Amino acid sequence: MSYRAPVADQLFVMKELAGLDAVSKLPGFEEAGLDTAQAVLEECARFNEQVVAPLDRAGDTEPSTWHDGQVSTTPGFKAAFEQFAQGGWQGLQHPAQFGGQGLPKTIGAACTEILNSANLSFALCPLLTDGAIEALLTAGSPQQQQQFIPKMVSGQWTGTMNLTEPQAGSDLSLVRTRAEPQPDGSFKLFGTKIFITYGEHDMADNIVHLVLARVAGAPEGVKGISLFVCPKVLADGTRNDVHCVSIEHKLGIKASPTAVLQYGDHGGATGYLIGQENRGLEYMFVMMNAARYAVGVQGIAVAERAYQKAVAYARERVQSRPVDGSLPRAATIIHHPDVRRMLMTMRAYTEACRAMALVGAAAYDAAHAHPDAQARARNQAFYEFVVPLIKGFSTEMSLEVASLGVQVHGGMGFIEETGAAQHLRDAKILTIYEGTTAIQANDLVGRKTARDGGAVARAVAGQIEATEGELAKSRSEHAAVMLKRLRSARQAFLDAVAFVVERGKSDPNAAFAGSVPYLMLAGNLVAGWQMARALLVAEARLAAGEQADFMRAKVQTARFYADHMLTQAPGLRDSIVDGAVGVTGMALEAF
C-alpha cells in the first residue's frame, strides 16, 4: 500500500482553523498565502511519496550498521538525502539570509508531517538539524552563524544535540562532560554522550554537534552547564576528536543510527563556546522546544501512515457476513461495526491532533512576527501551553492508533511482512525522547498551569466557551451533540485546573500524581475544540454546496470525536481530583 500525503486535510486546517490568511499578513510572510501553501505541500507530497516513502520498509529490514567507527545508512538513504537537500527542504522554515526559504511554521509543520509519515527514521536527521539551526540562530555568534548555518540549511552538513550521558538522562544536572579552555579561545571536550540521533552517518560531508559540557570550576547542577559547537570535521579539514564507538539496537526507528559518541580519547575534541558560559541549558531548551513540537508532529505522521495502511487492508480483507444480513456472503471487514469504530478512532485522533498542531504553529508564527507586542505575548503564551499537549497527547495518541492498526489487520498485523507492526514499534520512542510524557505533564502542571495560577489555562477555556456559543447557534444534531460534549469536557478541565492550582501549593505529590491524566485531558479537550471548529466550518461549506464529500466526512469525524473521545474527559477529571491516594498510598517496600 502506497502512502498518500493528506494535503487536502492539511490545507483545510491551515485555511479554516489555523488562519493562514492572517499568517500571510504578518511581516516577512507576505508570500506565504494559500496558493504558496498548496504548491509547497503538493511538491512535498510528490517528493516524499515517490522518493522517501518507498525506503521506509527497507529501513526497518536493513537498518544502519556500524563498523570501525563508521556508520553506513540503509541503502538508498544517502541518494534520497541528496535529493532532499537539493530540493531545498531543509531550509524551508529558516531565514533567507542563510539560504532558507523563510516560510512560516504553519506551512513547515505540514511538510514535517509528510516527511515523517513517509519515513520516520529518515526524517529524524533533518529534525535534529532544524533544532541545531534554531539554537545557533538564538545564541550563536555572527561568525558561528555564518560558518555553520548556511551549510546546514543547504543540507551539506547536518546537526545533532548532545545532552544525554550514561549517568545523566533527563536529569541534566548530572552532566559530566568537561570542557577545558585553550589559549586560542577554543575548548577541548572530554566525555561520553549516548542516544545521539544521527551522531554518525554517511549522508553529509560534516556533522555539527551541539554539546552540553562543564567548564572547569563551573557551579554544580544545571547552573554550571555550557553549550559548545563541535564539528566532526574542523575548518582546516582535519578530523575532530569525536568518534562513534557504537550504535544502539532498537525496538523501532531502526534505520536511524542512535550513536554513542566519545569525545577526547585522542587529546580532546575541539569545541567552541556558544553564547555565555553556564547558560548552556537555557540555549539548549530552544533546540529542545523546537524538537518537542516536531516530535508531536511525528506522532501525527505515524498515526496517519498507520491509518492509511489499516483502511487499505480493511477494504481488501474478506471475513464473515455482515451482522445486519445486508450481504448473503462474507464481506470485506470494513463492513463490520467494530472495524469501522477502530478506523474512525484512528482517523478522528489523527485529524484532531493535526489541527491542534497547525493551530499551534500559527500561534508560533504570530508570537514571532506580529507587529503588536500584546498579540505576540498572547500567542506566545498559547503556544507554550499547547507544546506539551502537542508533544505528549499526540505521541500517546500515535501509540493507540498504531496499535489499532495492528488490530485491524488481525493476526496478519502481528506478522512483520504486512508492515503494520513497524508503525507500532516506531511510535513507542515518540512518547520517550525529547522528554517523556510525564516530563511534558510535569511541565504542564508546574510551569504552564500552577505558576500563573491557571490564568493561561482558563484563557484557553474561555476561547473554547466562545466556540460553544457558535455551536449553540447551529440547528444541526451534530452541533448539538458536540456542544454537549465540549461543554462537559471544558468543565472537567476547569475542575482539574482548580485542583492543580490549589493542591500544587499544599500537596505537590497529589497534584503531580495526576499530571499525565491532566495532560491527556487538556490534549483531548484542545484537540476536540479544533474538531468542533472544523464541524462548524464544514456545515457552513455544505450549506453553500462546497466539497460535499470532504465536508460530510469532516462532520462525521467531528461527531465521532465528540461521542468517543470528549466523553473520556469527566473520567480523567475524576482520576486527577480524586485519584492521588491510589497513586501514592502504597508503601514503597510493598512494590
- What band does 357 get if pLDDT is binned at 50, 70 and 90? very high
On whether the CB atoms of residues 343 and 408 are closer than 8 A, the answer is yes
Distances (CA, A) of 179 to 158, 273, 590: 23, 9, 44
On whether the CB atoms of residues 242 and 263 are closer than 8 A, the answer is yes
Cell triple for residue 257?
A: 543510527
What proportion of the chain, given as a percentage, has pLDDT over 70? Answer: 100
Taking residues 204-214, what's their average pLDDT? 97
- Cα 179 from Cα 190, distance rounded (Å): 7
Residue partners of 78: CB distance under 8 A and separation at least 6 = 202, 203
* Amino acid 170: pLDDT: 84
Helix (H, G, I), strand (E, B) or coil at 11: helix
* Amino acid 505: pLDDT: 87
> How do residues 76-115 score in pLDDT, each as one tens digit?
999 999 999 999 999 999 999 999 999 999 999 999 999 9
Distances (CA, A) of 386 to 66, 147, 293, 463, 572: 39, 34, 9, 14, 18
* Amino acid 187: pLDDT: 98
- Residue closest to 86 by CA, chosen among 76, 75, 99, 73: 99
* Amino acid 491: pLDDT: 98
- Cα 449 from Cα 434, distance rounded (Å): 21
* Amino acid 493: pLDDT: 98
Q: What is the DSSP letter of 76?
A: T
- Cα 332 from Cα 334, distance rounded (Å): 6
Residue 172 has pLDDT above 90, yes or no: no
546 belongs to the catalytic site: no
Given the residues 30, 434, 468, 470, select the one marked as catalytic: 434
- What band does 289 get if pLDDT is binned at 50, 70 and 90? confident
Residue 62 has pLDDT above 90, yes or no: yes
Residue 1 has pLDDT above 90, yes or no: no
- What band does 504 get if pLDDT is binned at 50, 70 and 90? confident
Taking residues 453-460, what's their average pLDDT? 98
Residue 362 has pLDDT above 90, yes or no: yes
Q: Are strands 178-181 and 206-215 parallel, antiparallel or unpaired?
A: parallel
- Residue closest to 1 by CA, chosen among 364, 304, 395: 304
Long-range contacts of 502-506 (CB under 8 A, 24+ apart): 503/580, 504/445, 504/446, 504/449, 504/450, 505/450
Residue 286 has pLDDT above 90, yes or no: no
Alpha-carbon torsion (482, 450, 300, 155), positive or negative = positive
Residue 442 has pLDDT above 90, yes or no: yes
